[in-house]
């Protein structure tokens, strides 16, 4: 390991020790999907709030089955209504799924266990009688007790949970129209470089389209953030400073730049940060992504990512993603799988993140390089299922060796 470079683990630890507090807001339930819960959800009611039938059938007193198998039907109750007819010995009330259980009933006989066949909207006559043809129904059968699903006062969802459709549904079942969630972290992003051209414009010789700005914005939004796109700073101190000033005005939780942090004569990001803020980390023992920078500007974390698109994406995955997730009180460790190297893979001794595709063979995952590992070949990330991690100091992975792959997506 090059002693002049910061180790990946040390940089990640340094960043995660400096997580600011994220504000909260209370928003309508319909807007809560994928937001992170800030306050635990405690049920204000029992769910269901009443004992109900889980089948279409007849509500009876189970003890009456011992005296006979024929019942007189007194009434009908459907979901959303309540029967006020009292049950007496040998009587039943026709009941639909979800309807409240009538007073006095303790069991529901399914209609298929009787001699009745129901038609659409059948009339209930006072002299209707049913015969039970299956008397094996146990006491309390086919009933959903009050509070069976959720009890009043129960802690249903813990804080720091990313809200999924099932969470939204259960909150709706408890009548909760609003939830308190963490605000979406706002990140300001800009690119640097005279060679960058906005989409929709023709390219001149020596120019390239600005892919990093779109890619980084998508990465931020993918993990719950929102983006203020500052655009492109030209290769000058003044233009770079102006972009930083515009980024600061939107009060973001982080500023991300791409390019301009290396040692080129026209790399001005590092110089501007050192003048208006502090540069705490520069150059990491990492491949690809060595010219990564981190610091603070007016107390706001600054991430200076390399200009090569693969390096930008890898350094985002390694450094920015954990910060963004920890900021939202979410687990920040990347999901990884164990695989078998399908070919020999080399490294220069730096912590290396090789782009690989995974292939299942005979109940084992095999990892294969996606082709060129050039830091400018963004297609290699499209083809990749994950990043195979080669630890510092290791220069060779042999075919057949067990490896760890951090999954993308």
Is residue 195 within 8 A of residue 67, CB to CB? The reply is no
pLDDT-derived band at 65 (thresholds 50, 70, 90) equals: confident
Model confidence pLDDT, tens digit, residues 307-356: 999 999 999 999 999 999 999 999 998 999 999 999 999 999 999 999 99
Through-space distance between the first and last CA atoms of the chain, rounded to whole angstroms: 30
**What are the two backbone dihedrals, phi and then psi, of residue 332, each rounded to the nearest 5 degrees?**
-110, -5
Question: Element (H or E) spanning 173, and its range?
Answer: helix 165-173
pTM: 0.87
Q: How confident is the model at residue 296 (pLDDT cuts 50, 70, 90)?
A: very high
The tens digit of pLDDT for each residue in 224-280 reads 999 999 999 999 999 999 999 999 999 999 999 999 887 666 779 999 999 999 999
What is the C-alpha R_g of the chain? 32
pLDDT tens for residues 118-159? 755 555 554 588 888 877 789 999 999 999 999 999 999 999
Beta strand pairing status for 186-192 and 254-258?
Answer: parallel
Contact criterion met (CB below 8 Å) for 121 and 131: no
Q: What is the DSSP string of 263-308?
A: S-TT--HHHHHHHHSEEEEE-BSEES-TT-EEEEETTEEEEEE-SS
Residue 127's pLDDT is what? Answer: 57
pLDDT at 394 over 60: yes
pLDDT attached to residue 2:
42
Q: What is the CATH number of domain 52-144?
A: 2.170.190.11
Mean confidence (pLDDT) of the chain: 93
Model pLDDT, residue 123? 56
The encoded tokens of residue 64 equal: 């009456």
Architecture label for domain 8-22+184-327 = 3-Layer(aba) Sandwich (3.40)
DSSP E strands in 96-167: the ranges are 107-110, 129-131, 143-144, 155-157
Q: What is the mean pLDDT of residues 386-408?
A: 96
Residues 388 and 345: beta-carbon distance below 8 Å:
yes
Every domain of the chain and the residues it spans: 8-22+184-327, 24-47+148-182, 52-144, 336-407
The pLDDT score that the predictor gives to residue 124 is: 52
CATH annotation of 336-407: 2.40.340.10
- Burial of 279 per CB tally in 10 Å (0-12, 13-18, 19+): buried
Q: How many residues can be counted in the chain? A: 409
Domain 52-144 in the same topology as domain 24-47+148-182: no
Q: Which CATH architecture has domain 24-47+148-182?
A: Alpha-Beta Complex (3.90)
DSSP labels for 219-252? Answer: HHHHTT-EEEEEEEE-SSHHHHHHHHHHHHHT--
Q: What is the mean pLDDT of residues 53-67?
A: 91
Please tell me the predicted confidence (pLDDT) of residue 381: 94
Predicted pLDDT of residue 3: 47
């Amino acid at each position: 390991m090059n002693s002049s470079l910061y180790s990946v683990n040390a940089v990640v630890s340094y960043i995660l020790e400096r997580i600011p507090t994220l504000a909260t807001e209370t928003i309508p339930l319909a807007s809560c999907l994928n937001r992170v819960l800030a306050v635990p959800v405690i049920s204000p009611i029992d769910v269901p709030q009443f004992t109900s039938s889980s089948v279409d059938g007849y509500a009876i007193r189970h003890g009456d089955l011992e005296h006979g198998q024929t019942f007189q039907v007194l009434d009908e109750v459907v979901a959303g209504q309540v029967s006020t007819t009292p049950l007496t010995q040998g009587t039943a009330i026709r009941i639909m799924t979800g309807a409240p259980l009538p007073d006095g009933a303790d069991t529901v006989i399914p209609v298929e266990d009787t001699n009745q066949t129901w038609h659409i909207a059948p009339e209930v006559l006072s002299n209707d009688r049913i015969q039970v043809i299956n008397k094996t129904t146990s006491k309390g059968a086919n009933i959903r007790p009050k509070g069976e699903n959720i009890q009043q006062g129960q802690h249903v969802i813990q804080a720091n949970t990313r809200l999924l459709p099932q969470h939204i549904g259960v909150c709706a079942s408890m009548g909760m129209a609003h939830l308190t969630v963490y605000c979406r972290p706002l990140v300001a992003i800009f690119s640097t470089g005279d060679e960058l051209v906005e989409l929709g414009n023709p390219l001149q010789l020596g120019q390239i389209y600005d892919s990093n700005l779109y890619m980084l914005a998508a990465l931020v939004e993918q993990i719950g953030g929102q983006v203020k796109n500052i655009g492109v700073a030209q290769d000058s101190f003044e233009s770079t400073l102006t972009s930083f000033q515009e980024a600061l005005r939107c009060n973001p939780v982080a500023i991300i730049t791409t390019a301009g942090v290396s040692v080129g004569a026209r790399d001005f990001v590092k110089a501007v940060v050192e003048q208006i803020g502090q540069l705490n980390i520069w150059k990491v023992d990492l491949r690809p992504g060595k010219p990564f920078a981190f610091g603070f500007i007016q107390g706001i974390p600054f991430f200076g990512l390399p200009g090569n698109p693969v390096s930008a994406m890898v350094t985002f995955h390694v450094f920015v993603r954990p910060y963004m997730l920890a900021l939202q009180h979410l687990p920040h460790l990347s999901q990884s799988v164990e695989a078998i190297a399908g070919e020999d893979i080399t490294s220069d001794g730096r912590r290396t993140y090789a782009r690989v595709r995974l292939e299942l063979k005979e109940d084992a995952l095999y990892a294969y390089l996606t082709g060129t590992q050039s830091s400018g070949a963004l297609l290699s990330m499209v083809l990749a299922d994950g990043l195979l991690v080669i630890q510092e100091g290791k220069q060779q992975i042999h075919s057949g060796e067990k490896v760890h792959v951090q999954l993308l997506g």
